[in-house]
Amino acid sequence: MQTYDSRNDVPEAEKWNLADIYTSVEKWEADYRKIEELTEELRSYDGKIENGNDLYHFLHKEEVVELLFKNVYVFARLSGDIDTRDTQAQSLLEKADQLGVKVNSATSFFTPFLLSLEKSTLERFIDEEPRLDYFKKDLLDAYRYKAHVLSKENEELLSRLGESLSSPIRTFGMINNADMTFGEVTDGEGKKVRLTRGMYSKLIEDEDRAKREEAYRAYYKPYVQLKNSIASTLSSAVKTNVTLSQLRNYPSALEKSLFGKKIPKDVYENLIKTAKENLAPMYCYTELRKETLGVTELRQYDLAVPLVKGVKEDISYEDAYETMLEALVPLGSDYINVLKEMKNSRYIDVRETPGKRSGAYNMGLYGTHPFVLLNHQDDLDSLFTLAHEMGHAMHSHYSNTHQPQITAGYTIFVAEVASTVNEVLLINYLLKNAKDKEYRKYLLNHFIDQFKGTFFTQVMFAEFEKKTHERAENGEPLNVDSFSEMYEALFQEYNGEALVLEEETKYGWARIPHFYRPFYVYQYATGFAAAIDIANKILSGDETTLRNYLEFLKSGSSDYPIELLKNAGVDLTRPEPVENALSLFGELIDEFSAL
């Protein structure tokens, strides 16, 4: 595996080209100042929108500011993420955050103003100014929020508090990425070295159980040490979300989260209910893992090691990219050609380096192109992560090139479909081309673990979020003990009694960044179920599904997400997609057990 002690050592071809956004910080600052000027112009419209012409000019200027701000913010964010210790980059991001608060404050008058209009007045404005047709859907849709918008003064007050209200997620991000120091592990030469996240992802899969346990303890050590600080941060995030939901007159924080996308509450609750009714295959797999590993007690550091030995392989980034391209051929030549261009044009930041943000993500930027962050480790997990993130990137590419700015962005609810379709196509390709029985068992094992992580673990997280928010809504305490009690009980329930819990298990909540984006993770599970349905139809040669799916990737937010998925052939208001996915999981367990 290729490792780098410095970002300067990474080949240019494997690093972002941020000059595609700004060629210098000076140009970034010029746009920053331009946004400040335009923001004051936007503020001047307060109380001055009297006809369709006024309304159009305000909305047009707001859209110009929105795109400029995204450029400013994304450049700062990407610059900071390549080295979270870089104080200059962090300063840019802090300035961008402050600017975002100013923009929100300057425009906070608009929604209360809009909802103070009679609907007939708004329709008259639209009739008298044809250019407002571009904004018509959003304008009329705003009336859904009438019961949840505060007075102009209160909306401005909340917008000014924006930076303070986002403090929990920023604080956890700095703890988790910049300040976190893991314990030590023993390297191949018997020396003690400081654990990194990249090392952990490898060591937790090591065949040597002692190495796995050592890595596990070293990884959890700082989270246990900082458990009180992180609990305070997470408690603040949950309580802030609950308070905002109450201020805006939503029945619950969950319903506030689902409202904007028109996701029925039943979709969330039925996902948890259906998953918990189908935990038997998970318990079977836990028992099978214990039996296969030959351990008297199955521990948490035994859950990631492959059950098939001797076939684990190194997969270089170059080989991973080529394998992904071959696996995604069913999506058509245009899809493949765009993927090749993304690699050649440096849309991807590939390698783990000191201080770099952990994990992986895609960030689409309208008018420019997507940017993908990886921490590639030359293994099968990294191959799947690559396919996953490039699915997001292709979704961004297609939506940004086929939709106007106003509908180009897509919601998280549909985002995970695009990424997971790629993963399902990849595993099918690998299984189809697996000539060796042991390698097929290895791949099945990998897909089962992936299924577990993307579906069951995310549903468990979703239930944890629901419980924590309900406790806050009921005025019950949220602290280390309550978080740990809830998390430990859920972890046991979802994994089965065959798993003996560690002391560290109960603190698993402390390491999850997604808990600072309320009610986000359930969409991994719904997206996974929808993706399995779509990918299997495409693999069966269903040309209609393929056409509908490619149109879905181009659709951005041109409709509500549930409707966009219905157009692609998946109805998540019904239980069948989730039940079908869980049925497949059972089949995978059966085949793996038989082999």
- Distance in angstroms (rounded) separating the CA atoms of residues 422 and 426: 6
Neighbours of 201 (CB within 10 A): 20
- Distance in angstroms (rounded) separating the CA atoms of residues 229 and 180: 12
- Distance in angstroms (rounded) separating the CA atoms of residues 534 and 542: 10
C-alpha pair distances (Å), 166 with each of 32, 177, 240, 517: 21, 17, 9, 10
DSSP state of 18: G
- Distance in angstroms (rounded) separating the CA atoms of residues 422 and 390: 8
Tokens of 61: 């200027």
- Distance in angstroms (rounded) separating the CA atoms of residues 418 and 420: 6
Neighbours of 436 (CB within 10 A): 9
Contact present, 390 and 342 (Cβ < 8 Å): yes
Neighbours of 228 (CB within 10 A): 11
Is 185 strand, coil or helix? Answer: strand
* Among 14, 389, 416, 473, the one annotated catalytic: 389
Region for residue 426 given its phi and psi (left: phi exceeds 0; alpha: psi -120 to 50; beta: otherwise) = alpha
- Distance in angstroms (rounded) separating the CA atoms of residues 296 and 290: 8
C-alpha pair distances (Å), 276 with each of 166, 283, 486: 33, 11, 16
- Distance in angstroms (rounded) separating the CA atoms of residues 373 and 313: 23
- Distance in angstroms (rounded) separating the CA atoms of residues 181 and 193: 12
C-alpha angle 169-172-174 in degrees, rounded to nearest 5: 110
Check the CA dihedral 451-453-458-461 and report its sign: positive
Tokens of 445: 């094992």
Contacting residues for 207 by C-beta, under 8 A, at least 6 apart? 305, 309
Is 538 strand, coil or helix? Answer: helix
* Number of residues written out for the chain: 595
Neighbours of 191 (CB within 10 A): 9
- Best CA proximity match to 589, nearest among 336, 289, 269: 289
Is 202 strand, coil or helix? Answer: helix
Burial class (CB in 10 A: 0-12, 13-18, 19+), 87: exposed
- Please confirm, yes or no, whether 389 is among the known catalytic residues: yes
- Best CA proximity match to 90, nearest among 80, 101, 99, 100: 80
Residues catalogued as catalytic: 389
